Amino acid sequence: MSQLTALFNMTNKTPARPCVALSPYSDELAEGMAALGIEPTAERLSRLLAFGELLLKWNRAYNLTAIREPKEIITRHLLDSLTVWPWAKSLRTLADIGSGAGFPGIPLAIVCPSLTVHSIEAVGKKAGFQQQAKIELWLNNLNVMQRRAETVRPAELPDGGVEAVISRAFSSLADFVRLAGGLVAENGALYAMKGAPSEAEIAALPAGWRIEARHCLSIPNCGDARHLLVVRRSLLA
């Protein structure tokens, strides 16, 4: 057993990275998680905070996100990603396309170790950051793919498709369906995290797809409006 492995086991898989910038907001993160129905265990909090610290570090050199304030990392990245917990917690497989710096896929992988997340991102520096987060946070349930979403084939995913594909402000609904629809298993769904979608955008869905549900998402300690649109294949498709 290597010294690194021994240290990992002794610390119960809790990251050793000091959470200097985000630690003043740890209570806010814990309270926000609880408000979303997620138990804020020490391990979950430690990993989420370590992920946020890693993002702040990389962002100074690589400009991964326009959000730079520690408090906003907590609300607009971590808690925003976790608002879809009620729909993600029962899944076994999830693909996150256009995942950027790993949102919402990595926070979901942290709080739900039984969920395998395939994070698909074309930009090298962003995919590289995600790979580093996977290594530092010991996220064995995270698979980072530096690819354009349209180049990924269902056969490259376990069981020939995932239970759900998610995106956060990635594209129009129509483009989302065209890019990701083929990656979803027969009874799976597409989850689009968006601002308020227009009726014209919904009406432009490709034939064979329908909006099954529309949910308002409330981000704790943040006034931003967000919606989750659940898109499935039409019954007669």
pLDDT in tens, 79-135: 999 999 999 999 999 999 999 999 999 999 999 999 999 999 999 999 999 999 999
Distance CA 28, CA 190 (A): 30
**Is 2 a residue whose pLDDT tops 80?**
no
Which sequence spans correspond to the domains of the chain?
A: 3-233
Q: Of 71, 76, 136, which is closest to residue 100 (Cα–Cα)?
A: 76
Lowest-confidence pick of 20-24, 84-88, 137-141, 164-168: 20-24
The two three-digit tokens of residue 116, written as one number: 């395998």
Q: What's the mean per-residue pLDDT of the chain? A: 89
Query: Which pLDDT score, from 0 to 100, does residue 18 have?
Result: 62
Q: Does residue 36 contact residue 220 with C-beta atoms inside 8 Å?
A: yes
CATH code for the part of the protein at 3-233: 3.40.50.150
CB proximity list for 146: less than 8 A, separation 6 or greater? 121, 122, 124, 127, 128
Percent of the chain with pLDDT over 90: 77
Query: Which pLDDT score, from 0 to 100, does residue 147 have?
Result: 95
Q: pTM for this structure? A: 0.90
DSSP 208: T
